[in-house]
Amino acid sequence: FWKGDGGMVSEFATRFLGSSDLYEWSSRKPHASINFVTCHDGFTLNDLVSYDHKHNEANGENNRDGADHNDSWNCGVEGPTEDPEIKSLRERKKRSFLATLLLSQGVPMLLAGDELSHSQGGNNNAYCQDNEITWIDWNLAESQESLVEFTRSLARLRHEHPVFRRRRFFHGRKLQGRDVPEVAWLDPTGEEMTEEAWNESFVRCLGVLLTGGKIDVDEEGEEIIGDTFLLLFNADHGEPITFRLPATASGGVWNLVFDTGRPDLDPHPCTAPDYEMEACSVVVFTEPVAE
């Protein structure tokens, strides 16, 4: 999906909500889904957005080892670059990957070093490298420190809001005593995704509304109360896309939490009916639950 391939929105939505198709039939819960973008085999997150091809020459096998299919995109240049636009796009994509991972249902698995842009120089099979290729350098540049702080904020958001770590799978059921679904997927017009839209190869932008309020009960039968969140995903690599924000349950405004395309924006109320999303970005809004 984030690579920009067509026809991926349905698969993306299913995985983001915890892969009920894989686990629910055997009575397993969302925590059975271990979600990850990268792991010890393959590219690091930084290399996933910096290389189209593996560079395993240091392994001594003439670059024959390691996988050739990496589902990566170098954003226009293979490897390191000083081009400010490409560097900015890579940072944006890393933030979008991390936001998708840490706000998805299930258990997020983060490769050590991804939170600080660790690179293996395009080596996707570094099992044999006990040196600078795999060692973590803790002397961080400003952009690395920024990514660490962003990752920390995502972990905090997940921890503080139970809607991101539900004990049961979403199915779009109406919440008890309310005529609203627990989850709804939206197109850029702010309307629910149609069957046709789910199957269109050109669709690369969608949103998900996770309804708050009384969303579940805990192990002791106590109600779990959570805020409502609206998450927008734009995997298109082209121009910005304008997304029509759906009405809030209270009739008020959405509050911006973060925008991976505009990392300098502080949280604030959004009074406009539309929001312009940068390419390859994730935008998160919230509506606090009424007391």
Could you tell me whether strands 34-35 and 107-108 are parallel, antiparallel, or unpaired per DSSP bridges?
parallel
Q: Give a yes or no: residue 2 inside a domain.
A: no
Is pTM beyond 0.85? Reply is: yes
My answer on whether 150 and 281 are in the same domain is: no
What is the mean predicted confidence (pLDDT) over 20-43? 94
Helices (H), strands (E): how many in the chain? Answer: 6, 12
My answer on whether 70 and 204 are in the same domain is: no
Q: Give a yes or no: residue 11 inside a domain.
A: no
My answer on whether 51 and 152 are in the same domain is: yes
Counted domains in the chain:
2
My answer on whether 46 and 147 are in the same domain is: yes
Which residue range is the domain that position 158 belongs to? 18-162
Q: Give a yes or no: residue 4 inside a domain.
A: no
My answer on whether 106 and 200 are in the same domain is: no
Q: Domain boundary residue among 136, 162, 188?
A: 162
**Over 70: is that where the pLDDT of 280 sits?**
yes
pLDDT value at residue 80: 98
pLDDT value at residue 212: 87
The 10s digit of each residue's pLDDT in 147-188 is 999 999 999 999 999 999 988 888 866 655 566 788 999 999
Residue that has been written with the tokens 């890393």 in this structure? 94
Kindly report the CATH number assigned to the domain that includes residue 216.
2.60.40.1180
pLDDT value at residue 179: 66
Q: Give a yes or no: residue 281 inside a domain.
A: yes
My answer on whether 27 and 145 are in the same domain is: yes
**Which contacts (CB < 8 Å, 24+ apart) does range 73-80 have?**
73/3, 73/4, 73/49, 74/49, 74/50, 75/49, 75/50, 78/50, 78/51, 78/52, 78/53, 78/122, 79/50, 79/51, 79/55, 79/121, 79/122, 80/50
My answer on whether 227 and 281 are in the same domain is: yes
The β-bridge partners of 192 are 186
Q: Domain boundary residue among 138, 162, 186?
A: 162
Q: Give a yes or no: residue 5 inside a domain.
A: no
pLDDT value at residue 291: 54
Q: Domain boundary residue among 146, 162, 178?
A: 162
My answer on whether 144 and 179 are in the same domain is: no
My answer on whether 102 and 187 are in the same domain is: no
Helix or strand holding residue 261 (H, E): none
My answer on whether 147 and 182 are in the same domain is: no
My answer on whether 197 and 233 are in the same domain is: yes
What is the mean predicted confidence (pLDDT) over 254-264? 97
DSSP class per residue in 3-55? T--SS-HHHHHHHHTT-HHHHGGGT--GGG-EE-S--SSS--HHHHTT-SS--
Q: How far apart are CA 287 and CA 266, in angstroms?
A: 16
The 10s digit of each residue's pLDDT in 71-128 is 999 999 999 999 999 999 999 999 999 999 999 999 999 999 999 999 999 999 999 9
Q: Give a yes or no: residue 1 inside a domain.
A: no
Q: Give a yes or no: residue 10 inside a domain.
A: no
Of all residues in the chain, the percent with pLDDT exceeding 70 is 97
Contact 234/262 with Cβ under 8 angstroms?
no
Q: Give a yes or no: residue 222 inside a domain.
A: yes
My answer on whether 239 and 187 are in the same domain is: yes
The 10s digit of each residue's pLDDT in 199-229 is 999 999 999 999 988 777 777 778 878 899 9
